[in-house]
Amino acid sequence: MRLSLDKIYSSLFFIICFSLAFIGDKFYAIPNGANIALVLLFPFIINWSQLLNLLNKKLVIWFSAFVFFIFLKSVFLNNFIEDISQIKKLFQVLLLVILSFGLKEKNLSYLKSGIILGTFTACTYSLIKICIIVFQTGVFNFTKGPLINETLPVQRLYLGLLCTFSLIFVFERLLKNQKKHNLFLAVFFVFFVFLIAGRIAIVSVLFIIIYYVFTFLKSYMRYVAVLLILLLTSVVVLTNNNLSQRIFHSDDNFRTSYFEKIEMHEPRFLIWKYSFEILKQTNLITGNGYSKTTEKLVNKYNNIPQQKKKNWFINKEFNTHNQYLDILISQGILAGFLFLIFLTQAFKLAKESHTKLLLLISMLIYMTVYNNFHRLIGVYLFALVLIVILSKDNAKQQ
């Protein structure tokens, strides 16, 4: 009976991880349903005598301090109701980490396999859709427009992050056991990231490859390998219309300077500009709260001169698109300090393995361009990173 419960518990984590590549903006029924089932099974799975020790890990303590500080501050400043949606997501991370304490060490592979298989399935589905659309239209343009939403089951940025995580897990398996299918998967995920022109994913993938080059190659060979990688990447970017348009906005013939093209075509240029303006006006002791930060940003978007662009920004209610900046503006410098201590503890644990360190760094890179705690898929992926980092400490003995 106990063995069956352990298998069911691990399988539920697998289902959550597999489904992340398909949940999109609204379809959260599967991971949320699995999450509820985990909560119900947890009392029968967990070793209660060890639970206090598991909760006493510094990483868990500091993240809990960060979450409860935001919760208590919102109650004290009377903005809990309007910020409850974001605060719930922070508690969701904490809940998933605690639920992972019920996993056996050997069953951590269920999570990794779920991410790899789910991402591979989503990418394969997208490739089929791309082939159908290209066959029907004769055009392949993955820079912007409806083609992206029609082909990818989840937002491009998050599918790129899933490919990045999958690549890290596949490399981990390659280092343990040289199997052809793992090499195929590694090449496949790298290829797909370039195919969909996922810029931040490309940066992360290059970092991962260069990291392993410096780790396992000796002397001058590592520098030769890195140079070849960068040259090959440059050739691919410059000769591929999708990549050159995404990175250099080469399709814009009206503006001559790259800065002007960035200013015109990159939403984050204006988002970050207005975010820093708000930061200067913010009481950094208390912050503005999540809801008021969004409200202030939307008010700033009224200053955009182009009517169509202004309406788009206002309708989308774009957040700060930088998790660190978001914490500072919405929650203040004390919350930022707690988050920094938490990240320091995460690095101390993560540095013990290539996989943990690369997962953490990849997530931190993504958080420079996106607010992970504002989207449920971001919450699940952030929790996954913490679960893997804590895995040796929080896994039950067999």
Q: Tell me: the pLDDT tens digits for 312-370?
A: 999 999 999 999 999 999 999 999 999 999 999 999 999 989 999 999 999 999 999 99
The tokens for 250 are 């080469």
Give residue limits of the domains in the chain.
1-45, 57-99+266-398, 116-255
Residue carrying the six token digits 């978001």: 326
- Report the C-alpha gap between 319 and 335 in whole angstroms: 18
Which parts of 46-107 fold into alpha helices (H)?
A: 48-55, 58-76, 80-99
Distance CA 317, CA 288 (A): 16
Q: Which portions of the chain are predicted below pLDDT 70?
A: 1-3, 24-27, 144-147, 178, 250, 393-398
Is the separation of the CB atoms in 107 and 176 below 8 Å?
no
pLDDT confidence of residue 145: 60
In this predicted structure, what is the pLDDT of residue 102?
92
Q: What is the pLDDT of residue 307?
A: 94
Identify the pLDDT of residue 397.
38
Task: List, for residues 170-207, the tens digit of each pLDDT value.
Answer: 999 998 876 778 999 999 999 999 998 889 999 999 99
Residue type, 389: I
